[in-house]
Amino acid sequence: MDPSRRSVLNAGLFSVALTVPGWPDVVGRMEAIQTGKTQRIGMADVNMVIAMTERVSDLDDQFGGRHARPMAAAFLVNTVTPYLRADATDEVRKAMMSAASDLCYLTGYMAVDEGVHGLAQQYYLKALELAGASEDHLTYCTTLRGMSVQAVDLRHGKTAMRLADAAASASPQAGPRMRAFLAGQQAHASAQLGDRTMALMYLREAEVAMERAESQTKTFGSYNPSSLTYHAGQVRYELGDIHGSIKELEESDRLRHGSFKRNRIRYLSMLAERQLEIGHLESACATWVKVLDIYPDVQSGQCDKAVSTMQARIRPYLKNQAARNLYQRARSVTAPSVVV
């Protein structure tokens, strides 16, 4: 069964986000979870859903969401939804809703990657409902922050700010890593709105919180020094400091670890575009070469868009040897739908 219904896909962008439920409104809500009579689940089933979500998340991180999202959507509809209707103890039901919330968030995140934004919002809202019903503060706040990221990337600054603030207000007892995670997004949204004072205040708050964070161990929805430096680059760019933004993005790439190829493609593409913006054509081409080195390994709508944008931006400079070599290589490694 395909959950990507036309009625969902055609939903107005951010129309549903206007009615995001607050934490007090959703905590403990159980009305939407109907108990069935034909099946009973236990913690082993919950652990299986958690493990499956982690596997899909790893695939998404490494290869992009184009192939992983259909797997997640099918698993959610065909396996997890029946589990939510099954008989269970209160403890197991609560744990299953929390696990389902994580999976809904991840599926929404992958829908954003493919540019299916209305569908992503539907998954995000369901993640909020399930997180509230299971009293899962972490996933609730992470989902609100993900919705804010979606909004700020689409230049909906006011919505991004509202969602980032909602995430922060819902987590008064957040640890330092989560606080950095949320403050970094508040900084980006504030900068997009042109509020320099608040943007720099939130950025400093994120930096202080990151300094207090004890571990850089990878966790679901983790935030690390590379992520913080990326946010600093976004803040500086929104405030008009292109050179400062370039330095921050270069540092973010230096700090980046692991195999998150999709994000590296996105952020390196952003760096190259800004290098070109200040007239550093050769540096931009060298950065884009790094993008093309890893692009064939990723199946991602966002990465396709980044490479398509690169071809359009570099075309006016084809008399330059580095630009011409880059353009020709890009055409050789991209699908016909991406070639410009």
Question: Quick check: 336 pLDDT over 90?
Answer: no
| pTM for the structure as a whole | 0.85
What pLDDT score was predicted for residue 275?
Answer: 98
As a whole number of angstroms, the distance between CA 246 and CA 263 comes to 16
DSSP string, 66-87: HHHHHHHHHHIIIIIHHHHTSB
Q: Which band of pLDDT confidence, cut at 50, 70 and 90, is reported for residue 8?
A: very low
Question: Quick check: 320 pLDDT over 90?
Answer: yes
Residues paired with residue 87 on neighbouring β-strands, in sequence order: 40
Question: Quick check: 319 pLDDT over 90?
Answer: yes
Q: Which band of pLDDT confidence, cut at 50, 70 and 90, is reported for residue 172?
A: low
| Structural Rg of the chain based on CA atoms | 21
Provide the percentage of residues in the chain whose pLDDT is more than 90. 70
Residues 34-56: tens digit of each pLDDT:
444 437 899 999 999 999 999 99
- The domain spans of the chain are 1-135, 138-259, 280-340
Does residue 11 or residue 262 have the better pLDDT?
262
Please report where in the chains the tokens 């359009």 appear, as a residue: 312
Topology adopted by domain 138-259: 1.25.40
Question: Quick check: 33 pLDDT over 50?
Answer: no
Q: Which band of pLDDT confidence, cut at 50, 70 and 90, is reported for residue 220?
A: very low
What pLDDT score was predicted for residue 167?
Answer: 93
What average pLDDT does range 99-122 have in this prediction? 95
As a whole number of angstroms, the distance between CA 113 and CA 265 comes to 13
As a whole number of angstroms, the distance between CA 207 and CA 318 comes to 41
Residues in the chain: 340
Q: How is residue 7 annotated by DSSP?
A: H
